[in-house]
Amino acid sequence: MRTTVTLDDDVAALIEGERARTGESFRAAVNRLLRRGGRAVPPPTPPPALPELPGSPLLDVSDVSALLAILDDERRAQRGVA
């Protein structure tokens, strides 16, 4: 495949440095560096599954307003306010 690409100065310097070091053509240096860069980032791994605990939950955390009401009730009880 033939294409036109505008390289930043630091990228062009990297390629020229590789060419000087290895003696390979511009095309070969670009292809090798692109292949190496494409393999450098491993695919993301999914997070480990959370363990399933026995029993049933005491609170439904999906209902935020109910959870906040319970917390407010607990705070009032600690302060002795009805």
Question: Does the structure show a pLDDT above 70 at 18?
Answer: yes
CA distance 46 to 76: 42
Give 30-81 pLDDT, tens digit per residue: 999 999 887 777 788 999 999 988 988 777 778 889 888 888 988 888 888 7
Are the CB atoms for 82 and 76 separated by under 8 Å? yes
Q: How confident is the model at residue 23 (pLDDT cuts 50, 70, 90)?
A: very high
Contact 18, 29 (CB under 8 A): yes
Q: Is residue 24 very low, low, confident or very high in pLDDT (cuts 50, 70, 90)?
A: very high
At residue 82 the predicted structure's pLDDT band, cuts being 50, 70 and 90, is low
Smallest CA-to-CA distance from 17 within 38, 32, 1, 39 is with 32
